Amino acid sequence: MANHKATKKDVRQATKRRDRNRYYGKTTRNAIQKLREEKVEKEAGAKLPEVSSMIDKLAKKGIIHKNKAANLKRKLARKINALGTPAPAVATKAAKAAPAAAK
């Protein structure tokens, strides 16, 4: 344990900061998880700016690295954009063989 008055204060401050950072980090992770589970593009699109702002704040405070924040935001945006577009049709062997047989 710390012996000096200033060191004891530093330990108290570090504990408060750690608890605060854990709270903000967990809150943001929960928001990201809920956004990923969203199936409707409009609702997900409305939530994206809020979650993106939360991620930026974590990066600004140094809780997460700025590149991690950028990667998280990019992946979330891609997922939301994919909700609006229909899934690409999967070509089957029979579908591929039919045009070749017609030639």
Looking at residue 55, its amino acid is I
Q: Is the pLDDT of residue 88 over 70?
A: no
pLDDT, position 57: 96
Q: Is the pLDDT of residue 12 over 60?
A: yes
For residues 99 and 45, the model is more confident at 45
Q: Is the pLDDT of residue 61 over 80?
A: yes
Chain-centroid distance, C-alpha 90: 29
Which residue range is the domain that position 66 belongs to?
Answer: 5-102
DSSP state of 103: -
Mean local confidence (pLDDT), 77-102: 71
Q: Which CATH number is 9's domain given?
A: 1.20.58.110
pLDDT, position 56: 97
- pLDDT band, residue 103 (cuts 50/70/90): low
Crossing angle of helices 5-37 and 41-61, rounded to 10°: 160
pLDDT tens per residue across span 13-53 = 999 999 999 999 999 999 999 999 999 989 999 999 999 99
Number of domains composing the chain: 1
pLDDT, position 85: 76
Rounded CA gap, 34 and 47, in Å? 9
